[in-house]
Structures are given as structure tokens and as C-alpha cells.
Amino acid sequence: MLKAAMLAAVVIVSVAAAARPASAQAAPAGVEKKNYNYSESTKGRFSEAVTVTGPGKMIFLAGVGAEDENGKGGDILHKGDFTAQCKYAFDKIKRALEKNGATLGDIVKMVTYLTDVRFQPDFGKCRQETFGTTPMPAHTLLIISQLAWPGMLVEVDVTAAVPLK
């Protein structure tokens, strides 16, 4: 009987300890986060790139599509032309990475959104032409009903990582 009571007490203490909320941890010293906007149309709406610097630098690019970098919000280039929108999006990605000391080879994760599954073969070709012999990053492809602006056919999120120099 005493063993059963002691076992019950140990179980209760263990469950109570596990149920306690973890204490909040402060960000490690030396970690810095910066947000960037390269296009006038995005300022105040979302960050086009976010970098996190610590033991390495991580670069997060917001959904990149065929928005006109020099236009106003909703100005889409190459309406109705999936391949041109895809190439333009990857060109913007390359330039944003370069501004942050990275290349396509530094991409560790991509998420691509297409508005029509019939664009999948064209996307595969566009991506292959863009990356060439560069190893492909981890990638998720989603088919959705609409993107941020009417006329957008493709949007790509990118996460890249580079060592500190």
C-alpha cells in the first residue's frame, strides 16, 4: 500500500512539473533581425526580406511574384503570361538575395503558390532554368484559388542561410 501511495505521489509531482509553462527565454546575445523593402509598393504593407543574423545569417523573402517593383500596389506585370511572371519572380528573388550576400545556392527552403495546377509543368521548367546545376532547395508546391492581387499567377517564398563573414 505504501509503495502504491509513493508511486502515485511521484506520478502527480511529475505531471505537475510537466504541466508548468516553460519560462520565457531571451533571444541569444548577438542575434539581430532586420526587415527590408526594396519596392515602393510594399513599404508599410509587408517586408520583402527579413534577415536574422547570429551564428549565421538567415534571409526570409516574402512571397515574390510579378508585382511591378516601381508601380503601386496591385500593378502586376505580364498578366496572363505564367512563364514571364515566373521568370520575373525568380529574377527579383536573385536580386534580393544578392543584396543580402546570398545566391540561389544558399536557398534552403521554398514554398511556391500557383493559381492553376496546369501551370505546374511550366513552373518546373522555369525553376530548372533558373537553378541550372545549383542543387534544389527543399520545396513545397501549393495550388490555391487566388494570390494577393488579381492577375498574379505565381508567388514564391524563400528562406536562405549564409555563414557570417
pLDDT digits (tens, 9 = 90+) for 3-33: 443 333 333 333 333 333 333 444 456 767 7
Question: What mean pLDDT do residues 58-87 have?
Answer: 94
Task: List Cβ neighbours of 86 (8 Å cut-off, separation of 6 or more).
Answer: 122, 123, 126, 127, 153, 154
Rounded to a whole number, what is the distance in angstroms from the first to the last CA of the chain?
65
What pLDDT is recorded for position 45? Answer: 64
What pLDDT is recorded for position 21? Answer: 38
